[in-house]
Structures are given as structure tokens and as C-alpha cells.
Chain A
């Protein structure tokens, strides 16, 4: 245990936590926006897989990381349009249409990977960008200021999302539509357009999350996300639909995961209970939520399709 509580290990674990949290945070922030407008998207994992594959394929073909991020964003937007049409226009049952997107994303990304790539080929990974001066700070320098652009983007989007939701007209519309679409409609807010936009933004974020994951790893494999998208959805509930809360959840998840891995590497967690240790992030997330028990207020219209009769 003493091995763990050395500066370098603790700092590195913190850095790993933030790195791990990045894709979860991006996807969860997007889902937050969508859910505030009243739409549940359980297909986040599928969107992440699709965008991750296309981002990977882009880098493989062109070598351009930033183009790949753009492609991933585009894939997210396209899936957003599709999901918005299904949910808003066709008023499909949201829990299940999301699962459909997940199944499709899982299968299609796998299929495309097998057909177009086959043997895994590594690609260049996201470079760490050191923020001058801040990166040299003791203790916090490495974890906070020596990360990749996607990480800075993810954490930077947290206050931006807060501003979007609370200080813009669009955000007001989103919240209104999520709480009481009938009232919003009667006040002239287009429920459909607002939800459409919210879903597109949400899925675009999920696209970025997929890019963050695959470009961090430098390789794609079928089912790369291994359920990450679902955990991101869970984190929205954990964060009570507030961006800072969601960030807290993603960080908690990252910290626990990073710590468990470090303890396994140091032998603090013996191999015999290796699987039990793997439960820790999930158990702690639920535990934290129980302890923090507060009356959380879900968007009242969440999962209810809006129709004007």
C-alpha cells in the first residue's frame, strides 16, 4: 500500500482518472442536453461505436487526426438526425428505439471494420498538449494540464453546457420543453424543433466521445466501447441532469477505475479477487448516489413523446 501512496503514483493515477473520464464525460454531457429536453437516448453506445470506427478509418486512410474528429462529429450529427426523426417525428418508444440504435451501431461498426480493415492496425494517437507554465505545477500539473485536446474539450464543455442550458434562449426552450411541453407549445416554442436540435447536439457529443476513445487508444476493435455508452447514460442520472454533477460522476468513475487498475498492478489487489475488484466502480457509483440521497428532479416530460392532442 505504501507503494501506492507515493507522489508519482498518485499523480499518475489522477492523470489516468481524468484520461479515463474523458469519453464518459463527453457522451454524458450530450445525453444530459437531450434528456433535459425530454428525450432518453439509450443508443449512445451505438453512436459511439459508429463514430469511433469512422474516426479510426479516417486516420488510417488519411493520417489526419483532426479530420477524424470532424468525421466523428459528423457521424454523431447524422445519427442525431436519425434518432430525432424516430423519436420526435415518429414518436417511437424511446427506451426501445435507443436499444435499436445500439444494436445497429454494434453490428454495423463491427461489419465495416471486418470488411474495410480486418487485421487491427495501430494509428497515431492523440498527442498530449502541455499547457505552458500550468503543466509544470507540482502535483496538479501532470493530471490537469498535460492532457490531450479531447480532454480539454470535454472538461471545457462542462461550463459551456451550463451556460447553454441556463443562459441562452435555446437552453430555456430545452428546459421548458423537457418540463412541460404543452405549456411551451402554447407559448409558441416549437417542441419538435427544440428536441430535434437537442438530440442532434447530444449525439454530436456522443460522436466526439467515440473519437476521444478510439484516438486515445490508437486502434479499433469490434465493440470497442464495451458498454461505455450505457454507463454514460447512467451518469446523467447520477449527476441529476446538471453538467457539474455529471462531471463529478465521470470523475468518480475514472478515479475508481484508475485506482483499481493501479492496485492490481501493485499487487494490492490479489489475482484471486481480481473480478470482485472489477465491481468496485459500479458499486461505488450506486453507493455514492445512495449516500448523496437527495430529491432529484427529473425532467418531467422525459421519455414521453409529445403530440398535440
Chain B
């Protein structure tokens, strides 16, 4: 009974407190918090087009998040999402530049596959380094993030640059407009809802099936539970670690391809930073995965809500003239509160149970932590 009550109350309180802090910040900035919250939701859900934009914004989060769940179940931490997204985007761009005349029925799957492979390589490298060279994946993924940004800048400024830019002398670091045959078809006319969205959802479902319905997934989870036991059972621990990070990266790479070919501009462009292209999806996807309890299927609605927060924030900034960083800070607060709240329930329950058991001294466990 307590469990059910707490199960509803705790996340509610967490969300409420987080939003309350956000409201305080809005007031401190001289803005009306109710208008602010309304702008947030209006920006995310206010019209069919906005809803589509939210879905599109959530797409990389779903993919990265699903990949994170695979990695987490194998007990590896993947914070290299940014590099994997970029790697996938670059390889898919190269594919489109190489085969511009190919029919869309072949080119679209090709560029998506290229994204998958590109990200997969970017994920497999830290995976292999961990498995075979004992290089911790946190270190290698952070380093690879740095490496990939520079590589992207180099390619988009050099070999892949739009030839027109060189002629005109403006030298904007972007590719030429990529073949229309590669662009992701729009599903609902008048909105920006494109094929990438259902693909992402399908990928999340596939991740679920992989983890819980296939021998491959079983082995991954076994390694996650106990590498020693897995090895004793004959499972190739090293190979599976590499596979986990590779798959995680591949999904992020797919997100990268979708970012390029679902984008409004049909080009890959850089402003020199990673986040300018990825929108921090590499990190936000981790958060989305967590909100979804590190389960691939729940990552979908969780990413959607997170995407809503991000889309709504743009409206917030426009309507209330508050800096975008307010929304970023709010995101952080929400993450912190939500993560904390999942265990609060357990501790509160313990607390309540202990207090009501005070008249049963023999059942006292070890002292409650203070």
C-alpha cells in the first residue's frame, strides 16, 4: 500500500520541485513563471507542426538512449555519443556524395546503413581498447569525442567542403547540398515528421528484442551481470564488450545520419563545436535512457518528453526573452531530481516501516544511516 502511494507521490514531487525551482528562476529573471511553463508546453505541443518538431528532436535521443541501454546492460559506460553521432553523420554524408544518382529506395537505406557503420566503428574502437588493452572506456570515449570534432572540422573545411564555397571565397565549412535522393521522406505533409522518427522507434524495439529475446542479448547481459561468471560459462567477454559499445555507437551513428538527412538544409555543416551539430544529443540521450529506467522501450516516451523540453525551450526563449541557458539549467535540475527520486521511494518506505516497527525491538536491523 505504502509502496503504491510512494510510487505515485515521489516522482510527482520530484517533477514538481524541479519545476518549482525553474519557476523561481523565471521569477528572478523578471518573467511570469506561468507564462513560462505555458510557453514551454506550447512550444512543444502547441500545433501539429510543433508536435512533429518535438518528435524529430526526440529522434536522436531515442537512438542514443537505446544504445546506452545496451551498453549499460553490459556494464559499460558510453559517454562517447557525440563522437559516434558525428562519425555516423560523416560516413553517411560521404555515401551520399559518392552515389548521388542512386534511386532513393537504395540511397536512403544506404546512407542510414553508412551512419550505422560509422557510429559502430566509433563505438567499437573504445570497446576494443577496453576489452583488449584495458583502456577504460570513460577515458577513451572522452578522448574520442575530442578527436572526432577536429576530424569533422577538418573534413568539412577541406575535402568535403562545398566547391562553391571555395569559389566564392566565403569558405563556410559545409558540404554542398546533398542529393535529394538521400533525404528522408516526409510522412505527413506540412509537417517535418520524417522517416527517421519511426526508424528510431523501430530501433528501440529492436534493441529490446536483442537484449531480452536473443542469445546475443543474453550473453551481453550475462557479461553485464558478472564478467567472471560469464567467462566461466564460456562466453567471450572481450568480444561482447566490444560488441556492446559497437552497437551503442552504431545506434548513435544512425542518429547522426538522420540528423543530416532529416535536416531542413540537406547539408552537413559545422560551427566548429560538437554540440552545434549534435545538439548535445550524445549527453541528452544518456539522460533520456535513464528517465526510461534504462530500458529500450521506455526510452521512447522518455526521449519524447525530453525532446519536448528542448523544443519548448526555444519557444520559452522567444516568448519571454529569457536566455536559452535557463532551459539548460532547468534540464539539469530535472535530471538531478528525477534520478534522486527513484531511490527516495525505497528509503522513505524503509523509514516509514522502521518507525512503525519501533515496538518490535528484536526486528531492528543495523542502524539507520544518517
Tell me the B residues contacting A by CB distance below 8 Å: 25, 29, 77, 79, 129, 133-136, 138-140, 142-147, 150-151, 153-154, 157-158, 283, 286-287, 290, 323, 325-333, 335-336, 339-344, 347, 365-366, 369-370
Q: Which residues of A sit under 8 angstroms from B136, Cβ to Cβ?
A: 237, 296, 298
Q: Give Cα A8 to B143, complex, Å.
A: 31
Given contacts A103-B328, A104-B329, A293-B134, contact A86 B77 (CB under 8 A): no
Q: Which residues of B sit under 8 angstroms from A262, Cβ to Cβ?
A: none
Task: From B326, B339, B366, give the contact of A86 (CB < 8 A).
Answer: B339
Q: Which residues of B sit under 8 angstroms from A89, Cβ to Cβ?
A: 347, 369
Given contacts A104-B333, A233-B142, contact A111 B325 (CB under 8 A): yes
- Say whether B150 contacts A276, CB under 8 Å: yes
Task: From B151, B336, B343, give the contact of A91 (CB < 8 A).
Answer: B343
Interface of A is mostly: helix
- Say whether A105 contacts B332, CB under 8 Å: yes
- Say whether A227 contacts B146, CB under 8 Å: yes
Residue of B nearest to A272 (CB): B158
Contacts beyond the supplied A90-B341, A286-B143, A298-B136: 15 A-B pairs with Cβ under 8 Å: A82-B336, A86-B340, A99-B335, A102-B332, A103-B335, A104-B331, A107-B329, A192-B369, A234-B143, A237-B136, A272-B158, A278-B150, A285-B139, A290-B135, A296-B134
- Say whether B335 contacts A95, CB under 8 Å: no
Residue of A nearest to B332 (CB): A104
Q: Give Cα A188 to B226, complex, Å.
A: 28
Distance to closest chain B CB from A211 (angstroms): 21
List 7 A–B pairs whose Cβ atoms lie within 8 Å, in order of A's numbering: A86-B340, A92-B340, A96-B339, A107-B326, A108-B329, A110-B325, A276-B151
- Say whether B331 contacts A234, CB under 8 Å: no
Tell me the A residues contacting B by CB distance below 8 Å: 40, 42, 46, 82, 85-86, 89-93, 95-97, 99-108, 110-111, 114-115, 190, 192, 222, 227, 230-231, 233-235, 237-238, 272-273, 275-276, 278-279, 281-283, 285-286, 289-290, 293-296, 298, 303, 305, 308
Given contacts A93-B339, A233-B142, contact A279 B286 (CB under 8 A): no
- Say whether B283 contacts A99, CB under 8 Å: yes
Distance to closest chain A CB from B113 (angstroms): 27
